[in-house]
Structure 1
């Protein structure tokens, strides 16, 4: 567990407020609104690692999830910070904990985003190159 600006970044899955995460992903996240609750529950159950962000009262205000083979590859997903808590470096702290400071620090990471390129570029993410293939979907 790490502390940043009065918030805690923690990878303890027992601390996760599943209802708070679902509430955000199902209503606020452009990338996630197509999922059903059953889809989300399956994704959470099979996640390689989760990292949460909690305010001074222990309320969940952010989340990140990773899928991985546990050896060399990781996919970063569902990264968010509640709107009222943005601007304090929390999104960067979540990403740092997941990809640089945790057990996946030596992995090759991948992600998709429509609006957070600047955040991820700070961690070395670049636009897809000719060696990466993606099967597109119409799920928004």
Structure 2
């Protein structure tokens, strides 16, 4: 997928991804600030990944873990702080969930602070239904 608009690009081409930029984004996040670069690299290898670029520089990222048949887990959605509030996060999420690979699949995600963003795309709270097991638990 290559979606170009107003000088921006959203692409699923992993060759364009900057592990350095992604590691920087995630290092500033509340959910992955302790994630080692080796784990980030493995997660990229084993997921569908989407980069958001402006003038050749990566400014956003999203990752989907999926069986490509029934469901996906949307993870590590991030837009550089300097570009927030411009609608780019919405464009990135829209491109991911409507990609050829994920369209029609059930999507899940976890967030502490972006509920309103994801509600715009049909995600709903399902408290009481989901369970989780953390690594090492």
> Is residue 12 of structure 1 aligned with residue 13 of structure 2?
yes
Secondary structure at 1:135 match in 2 = coil
Give the TM-score, by structure 2 length.
Answer: 0.90
Aligned partner (choices 104, 107, 127) of residue 106 of structure 1: 104
Answering whether residue 81 of structure 2 is matched by residue 83 of structure 1, we say yes
Q: 1:116 to 1:5 in 2, by over 3 A?
A: farther
Aligned twin of 1:43: 43
Distance 1:136 1:125 in 2: 23
- Deviations along 1:34-86, one digit per CA (max 9) or x if unpaired, are 21112111111111x1111100x210000000100111110000001001011
8 Å Cα contact 1:4/1:90 also seen in 2: no
CA distance in 1, matches of 2:87, 2:132: 30
Q: Which runs of 5+ in 1 are unaligned?
A: none
User: Structure 1: how far apart are the matches of 2:17 and 2:115?
Assistant: 26
Query: Which consecutive unaligned segments of at least 5 residues does structure 2 have?
Result: none
Q: How does 1:1-140 map to 2 (within 5 A)?
A: 1-26=2-27, 28-47=28-47, 49-55=48-54, 57-135=55-133
Q: Name the CA distance, whole Å, in 2 between partners of 1:119 and 1:128.
A: 16
Following superposition, the deviation at residue 137 of structure 1 comes to: 7.3
Q: CA–CA distance in 2 between the matches of 1:83 and 1:15?
A: 20
> What count of residue pairs does the alignment treat as equivalent?
135
